Amino acid sequence: MIRRIVFLFLLSVLVKSGFSQQSVRVDNSLPQHIFSAGEIEYLEDSSNKLTLNNLLSDTLKYRFKTNKEFYPTNQNIQSTYWYKLKINFTEPLENYYSIFEFFDQTTGNIIAYLPNPSGGYTENVAGAASMFEKRLYRHKNFEFLINQQAKGQHIYYFKVRSNNTVNIIIVYRKISHFIYYALTEYFTYGIFYGMILIFCFNNLLMFIAVRKRYYIFYVLYILSVGFYEMSTDGIAFQYIWPNAPNWNEYAYGIALYCVSVFALLFTRDLLHVRTKDYKLYRFINYVILLRTVYFIVCLFNQRLFIYKFIEIIPLAIAFIAGITIRKKGFKPARFFVLGYTFLFLGFTCKVISVLGLAAQLSGLLGFYSLGFSFILEMVFLSFAISDQVRHLRRKKEEAMNETIRQMDINNQLKDSINQELEIKVRDRTREITAKSKKIFEQAEIIEVQNHELLNINKQLESQAAEISLMNILLEKDNTELKNNIEKVTDARALSTELSFEEFSAKYPDQESCNKFLSDLKWANGFTCIKCSNITHHNGRAPYSRRCTKCNYEESVLYHTIFQNNRIPINKAFYIVYLMYTTKGMISSYQLSEKIGIRQSTCWQYAIRIKKVMEDHKKDGRKTDTQGWSKLVMESSKASGIHKLRMPHAN
């Protein structure tokens, strides 16, 4: 036990000799003093059970460590921290003359132990975990009134416990200076939040006017910024939820989540990331999703809200997106990049201030750097939106000018086309007038031809009467021919004629018959009967030929003895063959029995073929050299017969 006491004594001597706490000299003319490195001692109470009496004992009194940073922080949020100040008053301090002020409004609980004239300590409680109405001056910061103090050195103790890491910024102030500072600070906050409201109202009107989503995202973004600032500087606790201190542990985390998400949504829509860089667009969406998942986890574990540095990720992504889109030639991104540059600098200053890495940034500049950077960012983002509007307006004007220019070109084209159409209409009118005259002349000719056709019809009617008479006579001939059937049968038995089956072996179908007629008809080449052209194409009907000049299509049956044929062509061939081989002596009844066609049809074919054979005899022509095929092309003299409609075969 004695060794332990000696060890602690030696340790305290070494600590005091190496890192002794500096005593701050204060007189009544000093308006304020910010306690910095070397002026504050601290002690970490990991058991959270130490009391002031324990600290005043000789055992713990020398375990305090001198703060080496510009200001201390509670590195371990599970522990309670004790802070000790030594102040040397060069003259007596009057009552209600000065205060101690703590700046970080997110500090959960602060208990101040202030020495009183009786030699004891007075306990005062403040912090974000207490009702706002319990504060001394109902100010956003935490103030402790210093009791009347005699001349000389006095020691002050502060017990701090918070669920998140806070900066212990302790300031000594005269009441008069505190009032001036508080009024100035609230005036500055009024300007800051007024600017936020003005920006919100202006962009909300723009959203109503143009219906662009990035306006509403921008409004939500700056409202989130304002909500975050109000949550961290104590304004929200003072005016919005003074009776709900528990909200202080969640409000800034919710505000930071909204700032990150709406910043990325605003960046995505304002810079048209989806059309300009789709991979970056998908990456931003994934970051929003991950940030949302992390936020939900934080709601169930409030201690995770203390990791504010995670917001550097969405800030950096928005910054990089602005630079990337600017490199792709999107001019409105320049103000966006500039605004995020200021925000990034402000965020960096805030981080440096929190970590105490630079003494120059550990005072008011570091504390309010993020708010200043938010103001500059809002200004430049407004410029970016305005530049976007100017860009869209310029594109609209260019499109309108291009439309006007195109309309002028269209009008010129329309005028030139109208002139050409007028010329063509005049030419076409003259042409139609000339054709009308020709048509009238042709109409007169047609009328004359109609009269001639009427006369021809009358002749045909008389011929039809004659044909009827001939049919009656032929019936008589048929009766006589029946008597000679046996003779004809004997003659056929002695002749060399082919049977229909034998004949069909050579001409089995319509294809072979048409080919035979085509080769026979155009053996000496094709000559159009309309325009005498000698070149042709294949026609639509099998083996027909179409003139390349007048497009007249001539059938293979036209101008043959088979013109207007109504029976199978191979049977018609066989009738011609039988008439030729029997020299016309075969009767229509015999033909009907051989080929299975009505007697009247066979009779009509026999009459036609006999007519051709008689014409050959009159002209003295012989058909032996070419056989029965010579009769096929002899249809011109039997034209009158061709006009008769042949009945359908059975």
Contact 158, 111 (CB under 8 A): yes
Its pTM surpasses 0.75: no
Q: Give the tens place of pLDDT for each residue, 545-564.
A: 899 889 898 888 888 888 88
To the nearest whole number, what is the mean pLDDT of the chain?
A: 79
Interatomic CA distance for residues 528 and 52, integer angstroms: 132
Please indicate, yes or no, whether residues 195 and 153 belong to a single structural domain of this protein.
no
Please indicate, yes or no, whether residues 101 and 207 belong to a single structural domain of this protein.
no
Please indicate, yes or no, whether residues 122 and 200 belong to a single structural domain of this protein.
no
- Please give the tally of structural domains in the chain: 3
Which 8-state DSSP code applies to residue 499?
A: P
Please indicate, yes or no, whether residues 174 and 314 belong to a single structural domain of this protein.
no
pLDDT classification of 119: cutoffs 50, 70, 90: confident
Domain limits for position 598: 486-521+559-642
Interatomic CA distance for residues 631 and 607, integer angstroms: 13
Both tokens of 505, joined, read 């072996």
pLDDT classification of 480: cutoffs 50, 70, 90: low
Q: Is residue 437 part of a domain?
A: no
Q: 355-384: b or e for each residue (b if 16 or more CB lie within 10 Å)?
A: ebeeeebbbeebbbbbbebbbbbbbbbbbb
Please indicate, yes or no, whether residues 258 and 306 belong to a single structural domain of this protein.
yes
Please indicate, yes or no, whether residues 169 and 237 belong to a single structural domain of this protein.
no
CATH code, 25: 2.60.40.2380
Strand 80-89 to 24-26 pairing: parallel
Q: Is residue 631 part of a domain?
A: yes
Residue whose C-alpha is closest to residue 168's, from 260, 106, 226: 106
Residue whose C-alpha is closest to residue 264's, from 253, 254, 274: 274
Please indicate, yes or no, whether residues 141 and 253 belong to a single structural domain of this protein.
no
Q: Is residue 459 part of a domain?
A: no
Helix (H, G, I), strand (E, B) or coil at 543: coil
Residue whose C-alpha is closest to residue 257's, from 204, 200, 314, 301: 314
Q: Where are the beta strands (DSSP E) in 60-211?
A: 65-66, 80-89, 98-102, 109-115, 121-126, 142-145, 152-161, 170-174
Task: Find the radius of gyration of the CA atoms of the chain.
Answer: 60
Residue whose C-alpha is closest to residue 117's, from 133, 100, 95: 95
* Final residue in a domain of this structure, among 344, 378, 399: 399
* Final residue in a domain of this structure, among 158, 181, 204: 181
Please indicate, yes or no, whether residues 198 and 320 belong to a single structural domain of this protein.
yes
pLDDT surpassing 70 at residue 635? no
Interatomic CA distance for residues 16 and 64, integer angstroms: 10
Interatomic CA distance for residues 83 and 111, integer angstroms: 10
Q: Give the tens place of pLDDT for each residue, 218-272.
A: 888 888 888 888 888 888 888 888 888 888 878 888 988 998 898 889 888 888 8
Count of beta carbons in the 10 Å neighbourhood of residue 485: 13
Q: Is residue 149 part of a domain?
A: yes
Residue whose C-alpha is closest to residue 332's, from 395, 264, 402, 399: 395
Please indicate, yes or no, whether residues 123 and 252 belong to a single structural domain of this protein.
no
Q: Is residue 429 part of a domain?
A: no
Q: Is residue 162 part of a domain?
A: yes
Residue whose C-alpha is closest to residue 610's, from 572, 583, 646: 583
Q: Give the tens place of pLDDT for each residue, 361-397.
A: 455 555 566 666 777 777 777 777 776 667 666 777 7
How far the first Cα of the chain sits from its last, in Å, is: 144
pLDDT classification of 488: cutoffs 50, 70, 90: very low
84 φ, ψ (degrees, to nearest 5):
-125, 130
Please indicate, yes or no, whether residues 494 and 395 belong to a single structural domain of this protein.
no
Q: Give the tens place of pLDDT for each residue, 156-203.
A: 999 999 888 888 889 999 888 888 888 888 888 888 888 888 878 887
* Final residue in a domain of this structure, among 399, 414, 435: 399
pLDDT classification of 641: cutoffs 50, 70, 90: very low
Count of beta carbons in the 10 Å neighbourhood of residue 524: 6
